[in-house]
Structure 1
Amino acid sequence: MADHLPTVGVEEEYFLVDASHRAVVAAASRVLPRLKPVVGDLVTGEASQYQVEGKTPPCKTLGELLRHLRRVRRAVAGAAADEGLRLVASATPLLGMRAPIPLNTDPRYLAQVETFRSLYDTFAFSGLHVHVEVPDRDHAVLVSNHLRPWLPTLVALAANSPFWEERDSGYCSWRTLGGTRWPVAGPPPYFPSAAHYDALAASLQVAGATLGERSLYWDVRPCAHLPTVEIRAMDVTTSVEEAAVFAVLVRALVVEALERVRRGDPGPAVDDALLRAAYWRCARDGLTGHSLDPRTSRLVPTAHQVRRLLEYARPALAEHGELRQVTAVLRQLVAYGGGAERQRAAHAYAGSLRDVVDDVADRTAVSPSPDVRPRVPGARHRTPPTHTEQQPGPELGVLE
């Protein structure tokens, strides 16, 4: 294992909702000026006026990452409250979205609307994007090959968008399905080299399918302006603690992939069709069902895939003191459900999407200590132990 621990940074997108009516509000242009003096460029606009994006600087440790995420969420929530709004970390809007959505008037977005047209009418999705430092572009592309088989499992772990157009979509991550309409999105192809990546990117731009690297929406891509590889497969997570844990888990996957690249391993050439099918299955079932293992073509319990992912990431997590925290959160997610299950539990208990908005907004708010337990009475058949009560070991035995 390399001695150098890559830095990791997070971008997460939030919806702005009316505190009284719970509907999304095109209020980014009102909230952002309030944030500039507080957090500077750590909060920016998105394509939709319903959303803002929070960012962290590059971080070394889980604790540092969590501190920055909390700081950004507190700042955005405070600015939103000053406008009579609340912050909602759901990957799809729950109430009030109308097509075509109100768009940011930044020239970059307007140029994309000219190209992609009505694809932008409903482009209102919030993701969790993780940037991990890599030595150079060549390493970033080969790391992508190693990460491809794990992307469906990341989709399942972070699934947090069951509702679309004010009804249950039947999927745990409708956001994942929403990306499939775009010409360049979802799991990336297998790339033998950075030269191959650049040649394909150039051809796609000539075809008009992209406007340059920033509209290559693959779920793993070399960052165009930073020395990082960017992983974009995950829905935004309602819990700030889960966001931080997912980020260091992704970093551990990258660290293990870098080690394999250094040994001359270009990564497994997983079939594109199987990988897309695995995406679809994980987006539909989330953590509660089965996953298609794209390496073996076998349908297996998603818990099995989570266990395999943890085994792959274990050396890096253990070396840098993050295994116990990551194991604890994965254990609770598999046992009690993630964001999609929580949203459905809130809806089943109260029968109204207004109550789901309230529950997600309450969870989005920064809490003093990690807790991923359901807050809705009767949401699950049993209450998980707190992080202080349980003694999570490295074997993740609850998944057996």
Structure 2
Amino acid sequence: MTSSASSAPLSPDVATLGVEEEFFLADPHTRLVVPAGPAVAARAAAEVGDLVTKEFALGQVEGRTPPCRTGTELRGHLKEVRAALVGAARAEGVHLYASGTPVLQAPGPVEVADHPRYQAAGRQYRSMMDDFAVSALHVHVHLTDRELAVWTVNRLRPWLPLLIAMSANSPFHRGEDTGYAGFRTVLRSRFPCLGPPPYARTLQEHERLAAAISDSEAMLDPETAYWDLRPHPRLPTLEIRAMDVLPDVEDTVAVALLLRALVATLTAQSSAHGPGPAREAEVLRAACWRAARDGWAGTCFDPATGRYRPVADLAADTVSLLRPALEQTGDMKEVTGWFGRLADRGDAAARQRAWGTQLGGPEAVVDRLVLATACGRGA
């Protein structure tokens, strides 16, 4: 349900935001991921232009929104782009679904697009790329000052475990229950250039660290620092990349609005107090792993204390912290509504597991994800 305040005019100083969603494409009979991404993206582009694109893996496609000011505007664009992708997929004889990892996939290496960057990734990372096909939710929040963006990234780093836990939607991988809520995070953690970003006191230090990692060949180049948080290399945004893609459009909207409020709150702290405390990277990587294992039902790293507490308690504390920013934009109802849905039905990973248990295995999970993605509702 949309609050009336979220569609009211906003102050000009409220940041715009945008969303990218990645999806898998499946054969309607076998439910295996199929390499239909380029054809689906081309067909959908005839309807929504460059708001859709093909992905690294041929079995995926991406939809994105333009910059939006309100939850209402964001919701409208998400539904429009999803509808174009769903329709294009059906026209190509395949189904589209939102999951952080492929529920079912044929044996053998992932089929990737014939692009120089993708071929370079194969040469550098070798067999690590064989099963690397993951679908994420990325949120961009407008922030033009790149030095300030680096400081805000520092303050956002301890929040990554909570974001992973709340958005977990990848319990299955290639037909197997992994035992994790967010196995996409685990697959990404194998790469030295992914996961929590390093702490940097200045933009210059941030760029130096990226260059040093690139020199090791653990990163393709400094411009492709695909950390979970980053000042975008080409856009005037801070990009948050830690979340699994979600079937429910309302959940996606709520994630984006929460992150805008979190960025606004932490940016104000950075403006007043500088680059912020340096949290140990090893501790944060371990906390992200724990969050990926347990999801919403578990305990999670507390950004304030460093201790582990129930995710639901941290979510309540987050609402309290962000209340001024959420009330300024009229987004409180969307965010608390998402937390209410999490409390009632669990995270998206728990729903995938329930479908598999109750309806007959991973094929049934794909079918329900296809339905949920098409209608934009997660249950």
TM-score (norm 2): 0.94
Paired positions, count? 369
2:352 counterpart letter in structure 1: Q
Q: Does 1:220 align with 2:229?
A: yes
Distance 1:213 1:36 in 2: 30
2:24 corresponds in structure 1 to 15
Residue 202 of structure 1 and its aligned partner are, at CA, apart by 1.3
Aligned residue in 2 for 1:344: 353
The alpha-carbon distance between structure 1 residues 69 and 214, as it changes in their structure 2 partners (threshold 3 A), is: farther
2:180 corresponds to 1:171:
yes
Give the aligned partner of residue 7 of structure 2.
Answer: none
Taking the aligned partners of 1:133 and 1:295, their CA distance within structure 2 comes to 25
Higher mean alpha-carbon deviation, 17-26 vs 82-91, is at: 17-26
SS in structure 1 at match of 2:300: strand
Three-state SS of the structure 2 residue aligned to 1:221 is: strand
After the TM superposition, which parts of structure 1 deviate over 6 Å for at least 4 consecutive aligned residues? none
Alignment deviations for residues 206-257 of structure 1 (CA, whole Å, 9 cap, x no partner): 2222122443121001101101111000000111111111011111110111
Verify: 1:359 aligned to 2:368, yes or no.
Answer: yes
Aligned partner of 1:196 in structure 2 is 205
Distance in 1 (alpha carbons) for counterparts of 2:93 and 2:57: 19
Which of 328, 332, 335 aligns to 1:319? It is: 328
- Counterparts in 2 of 1:270 and 1:325: CA distance versus 1, 3 Å: same
Q: Which runs of 5+ in 2 are unaligned?
A: 1-10
In 2, the alpha carbon distance for the partners of 1:97 and 1:57 equals 34
Letter in 2 for 1:215: T
Match of 1:249 in 2: 258
Query: Residue 263 of structure 1 corresponds to which residue in structure 2?
Result: 272
State how far apart, in whole Å, the 2-side matches of 1:32 and 1:273 are.
39
Structure 2 residue aligned with 1:62, among 59, 71, 90? 71
Identity %: 44
User: Structure 2 CA distance, aligned partners of 1:319 and 1:31?
Assistant: 39
Whether 1:161 aligns to 2:167 is no
Question: In structure 2, how many angstroms separate the alpha carbons of the residues matched to 1:327 and 1:294?
Answer: 20
Q: Deviations over 1:29-76 (max 9, x none)?
A: 221221222111111111100100111001100010010010000000
- 1:335 pairs with 344, 353, 356, which one? 344
SS in 1 for 2:330: coil
Q: SS state of the match for residue 15, structure 1? A: strand
Residue 195 to residue 248, structure 1, CA distance change in 2 (3 Å): same
2:6 corresponds to which residue?
A: none
Contact 1:69/1:240 (8 A) holds in 2: yes
* Contact kept? 2:154, 2:200, Cα under 8 Å: yes
1:121 aligned residue (125, 130, 145): 130
| Residues 358-393 of structure 1, C-alpha deviations (whole Å, 9 max, x = no match) | 1111110135xxx55x4xxxxxxxxxxxxxxxxxxx
Superposition TM-score, scaled by structure 1 size:
0.89
The question of 1:44 aligning with 2:41 is answered no
Separation of aligned partners in 2, 1:107 and 1:277? 33
**Whole-Å separation in 2 of the counterparts to 1:132 and 1:316:** 14
Q: CA deviation at 1:115?
A: 1.7
Bigger helix fraction: 2
Distance 2:147 2:57 in 1: 33
Q: Which residue of 2 aligns with 1:105?
A: 114
Aligned equivalents of 1:177, 1:73: Cα separation in 2: 27
1:232 partnered with 2:236: no
Higher relative contact order (CA 8 A, sep 6+): 2
Partner of 1:11, secondary structure, is strand
The whole-number CA distance in structure 1 between the counterparts of 2:69 and 2:119 is 36
CA contact 2:162–2:301 (8 Å) conserved in 1: no
Distance in 1, matches of 2:222 and 2:83, equals 32
Say if 1:278 and 1:293, in contact at 8 Å, map to a contact too: no
C-alpha deviations, 1:164-202, integer Å up to 9, x for none? 121110000000000111121111121111111011111
